[in-house]
Amino acid sequence: MRDEGYAAVTTRRVATKAGLNSAMVFYYFDSLDGLFVELFRRSAERSFERLQEALSSDQPLWGFWDLIHDRAGSALTMEFIALANHRKAIRAEIADYSRRFRKAQLDTLSTVLADHGVDPVQWPPASVIVILSGISRFLLIEEAFDVDIGHDETMAMVESHIRALEGERAGAVSSGRVPPSDRKPAASPSGRGAAASSRSPRAPRRAAP
């Protein structure tokens, strides 16, 4: 599914990979839809565990950004989204998990942004989450077509705002792109990132571990 797309998944190919008779797919999952649903649930539960770890880390904004821009996980997610256009069962599962993910993100990041003194009127936490998720997904879609014009600049802009709040990212850059230290921070007309300029009074930055 990840290598060739959801349309390449058939009961015969799945059974061949597993070294079993194709009837076993129906025995265990009732249908190919049943197999897709179980695959999505397992993948979603693992992603939720990673989300919880990222949000409970010392740098939850960096953790959230790196997680949603993880190429391997996002590639499979995009296949499930495409599949959901044709399979109602998958669409319902994605909707349920999406609401669960969004609630967890909002519960944690609302507090994180408030602790940093970010004005919730100027930067509503729910909007921040949607904007970051939307940017990440769009970049990944374009990268699938080998289009990357403006990507480094957009990544640098987003990460300059996160850096203004949480300092430099601790550990390796999971996105696999240009390390933040090698990028020029994107600045607002006042010379600071928008996230930094929204703090009034200026809140102390959380020190990176």
Within 56-87, where are the H helices?
Answer: 60-68, 71-84
Q: What is the mean pLDDT of residues 150-169?
A: 96
In a domain, 17, yes or no: no
- State residue 185's pLDDT score: 38
Q: Is the pTM of this model over 0.75?
A: no
Domain that includes residue 92, residue range: 31-197
| 135 located within any domain | yes
State the residue for tokens 């399979």: 87
Q: Report pLDDT digits (tens) over 55-86.
A: 999 999 999 999 998 877 777 888 898 899 88
pLDDT score recorded for residue 129? 97
What pLDDT does residue 77 have?
82
**Amino acid identity, position 41:** R
What is the distance between the terminal CA atoms of the chain, rounded to a whole angstrom? 38
Residue 177 maps to a domain: yes
161 or 208: which carries more pLDDT confidence?
161
Give the span between the Cα atoms of 109 and 67, in whole angstroms. 14
Asked, for residue 2, whether it belongs to a domain, the answer is no
| Tens of pLDDT, residues 99-140 | 999 999 999 999 999 999 999 999 999 999 999 999 998 998
For the chain, give the mean pLDDT.
82
Tell me if 8 is assigned to some domain.
Answer: no
Assess if residue 100 is contained within a domain. Answer: yes
CATH number at residue 100: 1.10.357
The domain total for the chain is 1
